Amino acid sequence: MNALTRPARLVEAIGRGVLDTVRAAGRLALFALAGLSHLLRPPFYWRNFVSAFGEFAFFSLPVVALTAVFSGMVIALQSFTGFSRFNAQSAVADIVVLSVVRELGPVLAGLMVAGRVGAAMAAEIGTMRVTDQIDALGTLSTNPMKYLVTPRLLAGALALPLLVVVADILGVLGGFVVSVVKLGFAPEAYVMNTLAFVQPMDVIVGLAKAAVFGFLIALMGCYNGYNSKGGAEGVGGSTTASVVAASILILCFDYVLTEMFFSR
Amino acid sequence: MSAALPKIRIRGLCKSFGEKRVLDGIDLDVEAGTSTVVIGGSGSGKSVLLRCILGLIQPDAGTIEIDGVDVLRQPRREQERQREKIGMLFQNAALFDSLLVWENVAFGLLARSGRGGPRIRRSDARERAGEVLAQVGLDPSVGDLAPSELSGGMQKRVGLARAIAARPEILFFDEPTTGLDPIMGAVIDGLIVECVRGLGSTAIAITHDMPSARRIGDRAAMLYRGQLVWQGPAASLLDSGNAMVDQFTHGRREGPIGMELRR
């Protein structure tokens, strides 16, 4: 009897897990659609948008800049070590610019911002939820989705590409400094190589990725915060969940977008 | 005919969360210009009742009429319009941390500006917020502080100012004196009575603070296990003749109300 019921229980558990996942994905999709639908219906809360935009673009600049510079420097070092085995050191500039613009710029900026802004967003909205502030909005003729979520989703999608432009420039600069100062590359040749190799499409797709990542960070921060329950512990849990979920989604969508635009 | 119409009429209101039936066929009339206090133990469904009327929780069954209009059967926009008549003081004041005190107080005015309400500039809203703060006994300069800089009593006053700023026809108070010392509790109750009378509003307050219930209410009702087990004048709360109400209002351990243990 037990031997028969055990596999059945396992199937039941797997089935329940799948259903829960599908249900959660559906709830998230509906939440995103509700947030976006308010873009088309006035009023739009510009103050909240500007504040969220500042959090994304301006206050995240130092951490993203540092990450980009050091990533560019490390890629230069590592690719030089690898390519020198095949006498292909001249490809260092190409590798640096390609990896920074296509991948590391958007992905690292996204991960950093998910940890900084996504977490703060979830904590702020989560605290508003458990202290009745979101209910209070509803009693003051204000739709909480329109007030809290829509401006943040738009700010995330618009601000991260700007941040990634800076990250791209600084990442390439980091690679340039290491290549010229430490590895002995000629500055003019390095710059010429970089400019010759990078295509407008590389930059455009990198920025498109950044827009998607920014939207996902804001979405996960808002969704987890909005659905917080159970006081301080619940807010802590939703903050963690927002960072973890945003980071995983960034990496998944990075693959999907790369596959869409760059696979041949 | 219309004179007999209650401002708020609730019939057969039910709400369950999973297996737990929190509201079980509530019938309640609140006459215009009166204050009704709903008392009951923790978890008896008082807050759920208010939240159903406010539209924050969707009830499973029943009707909620405001001025004779069943808000639950109205289109969403009409429901929102009906509920704009309501101002609410939350238990912990629920002030918006990210805004200054005056912005909290003027929030509803600015939100309705040009959308059903009169168009109002921020400078005028600031001025109106100062007036309302004065009405609840606070200096208008408090408007420039952040909510985190205020004491619990001051936060409650600001919450009250926010609730009355748009001169609502209906006011709800959720545990208005919880967490306050008895003197501050009496001050808040006094302000509530003044504001309700001054505006001519209809009020519902939920509380388990008996002195507060008697100060605020004209009428009282007791909620127990999702049902209103007694309704009568607030003045008779301490000698209602109902065994449950008497046990509750006198805080007796023995009586028909058993301590519910979670199984």
Q: Is A138 on the interface with B (CB under 8 A)?
A: yes
B114 within some domain = yes
Distance CA B165, CA B245 (A): 35
The residue among B151, B212, B204 whose CA lies nearest residue B183 is B212
- Within a domain: residue B67? yes
Please, what's the b/e burial string for A122-156 (b: 16 or more CB within 10 A of its CB; e: otherwise)? bbbbbbbbbbbbbbbbbbbbbbbbbbbbbbbbbbb
Taking 90 as the threshold, does the pLDDT of residue A170 lie above it? yes
Contact between chains at B54 and A142 (C-beta distance less than 8 A): no
For residue A60, being part of any structural domain is answered with yes
Give pLDDT, residue B30.
94
Higher pLDDT, A54 or B115: A54
ipTM score of complex: 0.87
The residue out of B167, B195, B216 marking a domain boundary is B167
Say what the pLDDT of residue A168 is: 95
Q: Span A243-257, mean pLDDT?
A: 96
Residue at which a domain ends, from B128, B152, B167: B167
Check if A132 contacts B (Cβ < 8 Å): yes
A9 is a domain residue: no
CA distances to A74, A77, A109, A114, A200 from A71, in Å: 5, 10, 11, 18, 22
Q: How far apart are CA B67 and CA B80, in angstroms?
A: 14
**pLDDT band, very low/low/confident/very high, at B2 (cuts 50, 70, 90):** very low
Would you tell me the crossing angle of helices B152-164 and B182-199 to the nearest 10 degrees?
10
DSSP type of residue A146: I
Same domain, B209 and B241: yes
CB distance B95 to B161 below 8 Å: no
The alpha carbon of residue A28 is apart from the nearest alpha carbon of chain B, in Å, by 20
How many other CB atoms sit within 10 Å of the CB of residue B241?
9
**Which 3 state secondary structure label does DSSP give B21?**
strand
Same domain, B162 and B241: no
Give the gap in angstroms from C-alpha B94 to the nearest C-alpha of chain A: 5
Same domain, B32 and B133: no
Token digits of residue B111 = 């939100």
- Confidence class of residue B239 from pLDDT cuts 50, 70 and 90? confident
Write out pLDDT tens, residues A119-152.
999 999 999 999 999 999 988 989 999 999 999 9
The answer as to whether A230 is a domain residue is yes
For residue B188, the domain's CATH number is 3.40.50.300
Looking at residue A150, its amino acid is T
Measured in degrees and rounded to the nearest 5, phi and psi for residue B231 equal: -140, 140
pLDDT at site B163: 92
pLDDT tens for residues B129-138?
Answer: 999 999 888 9
- Report yes or no on A3 lying in a domain: no
Last residue of a domain, one of B105, B135, B167: B167
Do B101 and B146 form a contact (C-beta atoms < 8 A)?
A: yes
Write down the mean pLDDT value for chain A. 93
Question: Which B-chain residues 157-196 have CB contacts (< 8 A) with chain A?
Answer: 162
Distance, in Å, from the CA atom of B74 to the CA atom of B68, rounded to the nearest integer, reads 12
Q: Would the pLDDT of A2 be above 80?
A: no
- Please state the domain count of chain A: 1
B127 at interface of A, judged by CB pairs closer than 8 A: no
**Average pLDDT value for residue range B54-82:** 88
pLDDT confidence tier of residue B181, bands split at 50, 70 and 90 = confident
Task: Please indicate, yes or no, if residue A33 is contained in any of the structural domains.
Answer: yes
Same domain, B1 and B67: yes
User: How much is the pLDDT for A230?
Assistant: 85
Instruction: Provide the pLDDT for residue A41.
Output: 87
How big is the A-B interface in CB pairs under 8 Å? Answer: 48
Q: Are residues B139 and B233 in the same domain?
A: no
- B80 and B180 in a common domain: yes
Q: Shortest CB distance from B94 goes to which of A133, A141, A142?
A: A133
Averaged pLDDT of chain B: 89
Residue B261 has pLDDT above 70, yes or no: no
Tell me: do B249 and B139 sit in the same domain: no
Between A156 and B41, the more confident residue is A156
Predicted pLDDT of residue A231? 86
Residue B123 shares a structural domain with residue B49: no
Alpha carbons B209 and B206: distance in angstroms, whole number: 9
Cβ–Cβ below 8 Å for B56 and A124:
no
Q: Looking at the domain assignment, is residue B261 inside a domain?
A: no
Nearest C-alpha neighbor of B104 from the set B70, B65, B51, B148? B148
Residue B160: per-residue pLDDT: 92
**Residue A182's domain spans which residues?**
14-262
Cβ–Cβ contact A127 with B under 8 A: yes
Q: Which of B3, B4, B53, B10 is nearest to B227 (CA)?
A: B10
Same domain, B163 and B205: no
- Reply yes or no on whether the pLDDT at A4 is more than 70: no
B1 pLDDT above the threshold of 70? no
pLDDT of residue A65: 96
Answer whether B17 touches A (CB < 8 Å): no
Q: How many domains does chain B have?
A: 2
Q: Is residue A203 part of a domain?
A: yes
Which of B91, B94, B111 lies closest to A142 in CB terms?
Answer: B111
Give the number of other CB atoms < 10 A from CB of residue A200: 7
Structural domain includes residue A4 = no
Distance from CA of B255 to the nearest CA of A (A): 32
Do B81 and B180 share a structural domain? yes
Q: Is residue B222 part of a domain?
A: yes
Of A145-159, A206-220, B207-221, the poorest mean pLDDT is in: B207-221
Whether A139 sits inside 8 A of B54 (CB atoms) is yes
**Residues B77 and B175 grouped into a single domain:** yes
Please name the residue that has the structure tokens 């127990």: B224
Q: A120: which residues sit within 8 A by CB, 6+ positions away?
A: A55, A221
Residue B100 lies in a domain: yes
Q: Is residue A92 part of a domain?
A: yes
Residue B22 belongs to what domain range? 1-85+168-256
Same domain, B98 and B80: no
pLDDT in tens, B74-83: 888 888 888 7
